[in-house]
Amino acid sequence: MAFDTDPRAEPVRLSDRVYAILALPAMAFFRLFEWPLRFLQRILGIGAMPYVFLFPNLAFFGIFVITPLILSIGFSVTGGTNLFLQDRPYVGAEQYGYLLECGNHLDPTTCREDRFWRAIYNTGTFVFFQVGFMVLFSLITALILNREIRGRGFFRAVFFFPVLLSPVVVALIWKWILLRDGVLNAALVSMGLERILFFVDPTWSMFWAIFVSVWAHMGFYTLILLAGLQAIPPDLYEAAEMDGTSKERVFWRITLPLLWPNMLVVIVLALIKAVQIFDEVFVLTGGGPGTATQFIVQYIYTTGFANQVQNFGLASAASVVLGVVLFALTIVQLAVTRRKDEG
């Protein structure tokens, strides 16, 4: 995690009135536990109190994160359509074999489970372009918003707000624009061009999947880069101006090298998010046309839950494969963040 600024650097305060409204029931609630916990402290001793405080959170972790994590291995080595593990026959590595077996791994049509491989290749294409454009546009936006422009606060809000929109809302906003009779096609027709059926054409569908997800999440990465830009000491720029250094040179020699740690964080975070793409694209294109915009998470969802025959084993095996990829990326992320915090 990137704690690049001290959380207390810029103190934020809830308005007193909101605080008062929320505080009353909260205080009543906490007071309710006053006696039971005092009693607990008396019998267990103060040394046990940290465990008492940690218990609820760790119990949730145990039930909803660690247990599933272990079970997922169990699912991936058993077959059948039963959800309950004790009723599932052990099949060893069969699920993985089925998933990974290909005549030629570069050609999904030769794979036994071609949908999985198509999903992998689609995700690869998506990740490559989405992360590329995401980094490019959030960098440009951050550089521009870092300048002394009139109405900077307004412009920042404009680029940031889609981050808060739900994926369903984002997808519907754009679907409404891109439909056959949508406003974009109206614009094309009025310019004398042909209508384009965006969601019938595989390339256009992929393009809009990438475009819409960049549109929706760019503000988040812009914000990280903006924080990085503002941390660059202004005297460096002043010195460069004194020397009459050109703006281009200042960018390549000062801004970019000093921003690079933040750029790395942005790239890795964007990668981790992009590999798990599902929500917006699922609502926007439904994975179509055909399987043109079907990604790994949608493959897992469809195989495990949406299909008529719920193949939990195959879905789990695919999850484990995705998990391994994410784990590798997270290790990179931790390394990058650590280097940034130390440097």
Partner 1 sequence: MTMASTSSSGRPVLGFLTRRREGGQWHWTDVFTYVYLVLGVLLMFGPVVWLVLSSFKTPAGLLEFPPTLLPLGQIEVQVEGYDDPLPLFAVTMEDGTVKELAQIRRIGIMAQMVDPENPGERVSVPINTREPIREMRVATENYIDPLETFNFLRYLQNSVIVTVVATVITLLINSMAAYGLAIYDFKGRNAIMLFVIGTLMIPVTIVLVPTYLVVTQLGMVNTLWAVILPGAATPTGVFLLRQYMLTIPKDLIEAARMDKASEWTIYWRIVLPLSLPAIAVLAIFSVMWRWNDFLWPLVVLTRNEVYTLQIGLNAFQGELDVQWHYVLAMTVVTLIPVVLVFAFLQRFITTGIASSGMK
Q: Which of residues 80-99 bind partner 1 (CB under 8 A)?
A: 83-85
Residues 216-235 that bind partner 1 (CB under 8 A): 220, 223-224, 226-227
102 by DSSP, 3-state: which?
A: strand
Q: Does 41 bind partner 1 (CB under 8 A)?
A: yes
Rounded CA gap, 310 and 80, in Å?
9
Applying CB under 8 A, which part among 58-66, 95-103, 110-118, 199-207 lies near partner 1?
A: 58-66
Q: How many residues bind partner 1 (CB under 8 A)?
A: 117
Tell the smallest beta-carbon distance from residue 171 to partner 1 (Å): 8
Q: Which of 20, 21, 24, 60 binds partner 1 (CB under 8 A)?
A: 60
Rounded CA gap, 318 and 121, in Å?
14
Residues 154-173 that bind partner 1 (CB under 8 A): 155-169, 172-173
Residue 78 has φ and ψ, to the nearest 5°, of: -125, 160
Rounded CA gap, 137 and 210, in Å?
13
Q: Does 28 bind partner 1 (CB under 8 A)?
A: no
Looking up tokens 């719920």 gives 310
* φ/ψ bin of 151: left (φ > 0), alpha (ψ from -120 to 50), beta (otherwise): left
Residues 93-132 that bind partner 1 (CB under 8 A): none
Q: Residue 165, class by beta-carbon neighbours within 10 Å (0-12 exposed, 13-18 middle, 19+ buried)?
A: middle
Q: Which of 21, 64, 110, 128 binds partner 1 (CB under 8 A)?
A: 64
Q: Does 141 bind partner 1 (CB under 8 A)?
A: yes
Rounded CA gap, 278 and 299, in Å?
10
Rounded to the nearest 10°, the torsion over CA 224, 249, 144, 260 is: -10
Q: Does 21 bind partner 1 (CB under 8 A)?
A: no
Residue with Cβ nearer partner 1 (65 or 106): 65
Looking up tokens 């009723």 gives 87
Tell the smallest beta-carbon distance from residue 40 to partner 1 (Å): 8
Tell the smallest beta-carbon distance from residue 292 to partner 1 (Å): 18
Residue 15 has φ and ψ, to the nearest 5°, of: -65, 145
Q: Does 34 bind partner 1 (CB under 8 A)?
A: yes
Cis amide linkage into residue 289, ω under 30° from 0: yes
Residue with Cβ nearer partner 1 (93 or 328): 328
Q: Does 53 bind partner 1 (CB under 8 A)?
A: yes
Rounded CA gap, 210 and 134, in Å?
9
CB 219 within 8 A of CB 161: yes
Residue with Cβ nearer partner 1 (110 or 331): 331
Tell the smallest beta-carbon distance from residue 106 to partner 1 (Å): 25
Residues 294-333 that bind partner 1 (CB under 8 A): 297, 300-301, 304-305, 312, 315-316, 319-320, 322-323, 326-327, 330
CB atoms within 10 A of CB 286: 14
Applying CB under 8 A, which part among 91-99, 102-110, 116-124, 272-280 lies near partner 1?
A: 272-280
Residue with Cβ nearer partner 1 (104 or 147): 147
Residues 173-212 that bind partner 1 (CB under 8 A): 173-177, 181-183, 185-186, 189-190
Residue with Cβ nearer partner 1 (214 or 292): 214
Residue with Cβ nearer partner 1 (110 or 136): 136
Tell the smallest beta-carbon distance from residue 110 to partner 1 (Å): 27
Q: Which of 54, 93, 136, 200 binds partner 1 (CB under 8 A)?
A: 54
Q: Which residues of 123-161 are buried (b: 16+ CB within 10 A; e: fewer)?
A: bebbbebbbebbbebbbebbbebbeeeeeeeeebeebbe
